[in-house]
Amino acid sequence: MFYISMFFHYMGQYLKTRFQYRADLFVEFFSDLLSQAVNFIFILVVFGHTSLLHGWSRDEIIFIYGFFLVPFALFSAFFNIWDFNDRYIVKGELDRILTRPIHSLFQIILERMELESALGVVTGLAVMFYSGSHLGLRITWYDPILFIIFVVGGALVYGGVFVMIACISFWTDARTSIMPMMYNISNYGRYPVDIYNQIIRFVLTWILPFAFVGVYPAAYFLGKKEWFGYAFLTPVIGIVFFVISILVWNRGIKKYRGAGN
């Protein structure tokens, strides 16, 4: 209950701060929408030259992209740790975090949250509705429940992977970071994995399981029965990777030496 109350306290303070600068909030939302529109246009351009991509139609690829946007939006809202190395390790802000009687990762997640990024959920749902209507997809009573489970699982996959990457900073405090490169790699999860070779497919499934953020859970709603097993593994993979990331974080935080001189 203590952590739940702290979550709402942080959220309240965040909203007060953001609504003081409404123009900035609008600009950020517009820039995110523009970025998603560019990716959407890219898919349309690709299918302007071909009707199928390794057996996947244009609307199926668009549906996968729309699904991908939903867990990615939740991840972006609560796991904005792309500059963890520079801000908290190199500049020593982690010292401030460690003086408080709350788990350090929980504090960092809350003080770096960007709730406006969660608006990407609306965009993702709109894209899914657009492609789903063209595909003639039918919704059963339990599909919304599975959708929520898959989305949370996908967000935990992202969170777990990037928290573990951030943990590297506990063992090396250099300014260089692989975080930007990993963000680029994560984009491969928005496309069907069978368009890649077997090595990349294995990496995106079991090493950096970004395929569980987009294509695998989306394949369930598209009726791709050969992918159902992977789809139902989504929450399992998400929980496993996130738990491992917390364990690595707890071990790494003990290695932190402080800012010093």
CB–CB of 217/148 below 8 Å?
A: no
Confidence bin at 255 (pLDDT 50/70/90): confident
CB–CB of 105/248 below 8 Å?
A: no
| DSSP collapsed to 3 states, 232-255 | HHHHHHHHHHHHHHHHHHHHHHCC
- CA separation for the pair 224, 228 (Å, rounded): 7
Q: Is there a domain that residue 52 lies in?
A: yes
Dihedral of CA 58/59/61/65: which sign?
Answer: positive
Residue ranges with strand state E in the chain: 52-53, 56-57
Q: What is the pLDDT of residue 260?
A: 58
- CA separation for the pair 85, 168 (Å, rounded): 9
pLDDT digit string, tens, across residues 59-114: 898 899 889 999 999 998 899 888 888 888 888 889 889 988 889 999 999 988 88
Q: Is there a domain that residue 261 lies in?
A: no
Q: Which residue has the higher pLDDT, 72 or 55?
A: 72
216-227 average pLDDT score: 92
Q: What is the pLDDT of residue 13?
A: 80
pTM for this predicted structure: 0.87
Q: Is there a domain that residue 198 lies in?
A: yes
Q: Is there a domain that residue 11 lies in?
A: no
Q: Is there a domain that residue 5 lies in?
A: no
- CA separation for the pair 97, 133 (Å, rounded): 48
Q: Is there a domain that residue 10 lies in?
A: no
Name which of 186, 177, 169 is nearest 256 in CA terms.
169
Count: domains in the chain: 1
Task: Give the domain range for residue 99.
Answer: 18-253
Name which of 153, 216, 156, 165 is nearest 188 in CA terms.
216
Any idea which residue has 């929520």 for tokens? 148
Q: What is the pLDDT of residue 160?
A: 95
Q: Is there a domain that residue 118 lies in?
A: yes
Q: Is there a domain that residue 156 lies in?
A: yes
